[in-house]
Structure 1
Amino acid sequence: MGIYNVAAYITGYKDRAAVDLCLQGIYRQTHPIKSVYLLDNSPEALSVSRDRISTYWHQPENVGIGEGLKRAIAQALSEDCDFLWTFDQDSIPRPDCLETLLKTYQQLVSQRRPIGIVAPTPIDCLTGEIVMGAVFKRDRFLGCEPSVAGDFYECDAPITSGSLLYLAAARAVGSPRVDLFIDGIDLEYGMRLRQHGYFNIIASAAILDHHFGNPLQIKLFGIENTVLQYSALRHFYICRNHTYLETRYARGLFRLTGSLRRIKYALYEIVKICLYNRENWQNKVRSCLLGTYLGFRGKLGKM
């Protein structure tokens, strides 16, 4: 396998220990990393060691995930890198993760398939479950499960963390959307790559350990479910951005069914908040309602 120039990028926010663990996972890769970038969105700068961080941005006003990815892509392109490996701070790649991703990329390129993203298999550290990439079906995003056993499979949009972005594809389609701010950026960008003819791939053997919120297992209306303990801010952006994206990707009658699904989702989240996540519950309820309303109207940006 050839040596590719790979830059790694982390979005950090308030948690030094998580950023340190993510950095350690990056440094111990069996394939060399050319550069490491860190965007620190914390009000107070994280006191992480910067000896091996090539580029550090401190943004105390929190510029969001989309802006961070935009900067990292531009920086990696200026350094003539082949790939940008993107991370949330809550993820730790296993030592052979990058090597496996690059081998998968090389295998697919030899078959003349244009690749946008090669992503690992994220495993939730608390539940042991696989965090699936997404496919868009009719009026909504669904978790993508491999249809057959194999070394890799396609999806529309892998999660941001652990995704290995081919920078030639990024140059062709542009940067992720800044106005989505902190949620759904991976969905929009993955779909845009697909619409431009690129394939997004999940490599089964590349493993990423990922902390996916604070899950609480519940049974509501006879259905087993998982409640993630989100803040009011996160509820707002999830409801707004997913409503915006799903109602824009849906076509014909599916726009109506998609709109009804988003209303149902907001109401279901409100019920779960009132029953199981009551801290600051009034703001969380307002966030679900306001986010859904603004998503229908297409009002984006940081709020």
Structure 2
Amino acid sequence: MGGNGALVRAEGLTKRFGDFTAVDGIDLDVRPGEAFGFLGPNGAGKSSTMRMIACVSPRTGGELSVLGMDPLSQGPSIRARLGVVPQLDNLDTELSVRQNLHIYGRYFGMPKSQVRAKAVELLDFAQLTERADDPVEPLSGGMKRRLTIARSLINDPELLLLDEPTTGLDPQARHLLWDRLFRLKQQGVTLIITTHYMDEAEQLCDRLVVMDAGKIVAAGSPAELIARYSTREVLELRFPPGEQHADAVADLAQRVEVLPDRLLLYTADGEAALAAAHERGVRPVSSLVRRSSLEDVFLRLTGRTLVD
């Protein structure tokens, strides 16, 4: 394995496409059994990094070790022990749900009897047993996503790479998928997840890096990042369009973020800040005191929201 027991270790990892640098000299390590996240806007370099880890895109520079091996020289050996869930489902829509698993298992040279038994187990895991012999085409987006994840597990991978696993899914389907991923982690599978949903990163990831323009701009657990880059609480004040009272409340918080429809006051005590604002005659349409989240961290780091 990597020098520090990491399943994935990168030093100065770089990916260029002509004059464009997609991944700009990043360092990271992913430990066995953890869920590790890449958080960032589209174009930040998340997918390019994942493709290098998945051994389908060679690095331009730096060092990369996956499962203790070098992707440049040992790509096939690494890929045999990986599970990969791509950003877009690439299922064979003309086959049944079960057939998709059977055929994929054969790619790994598994005996037919083993593939059949594993398929039964994975259909149950993905809650697709009742749809096993249905064609894939009419399945819902959430079902197709669960089937793609089930298929990626056919070879009992040690490391599962998930690129934007819940993009386009409704909230119910997302939560079901989160539950399945949490179960995998409990079973000892190491997860690497890219996402631009901050609640997803907060729910699933033990540690994560925030990427922007090919660089890592912050790293740590969700709680560490919130403690480092935000305050304990946030007071949200909403005003009618065209009204802003930032100057009137500027000294009531460590920092005030001005958004088009509201002010965010970063403070240790949101209720006290709200009371002080009321004393000054500031009357928002609505107010909310909440705990800080990764979204607040991202606003602080990049000055914009994630989904551009």
| Greater radius of gyration (CA) | 2
Same fold (TM over 0.5): no
Give TM-score, length-normalised by structure 2: 0.25
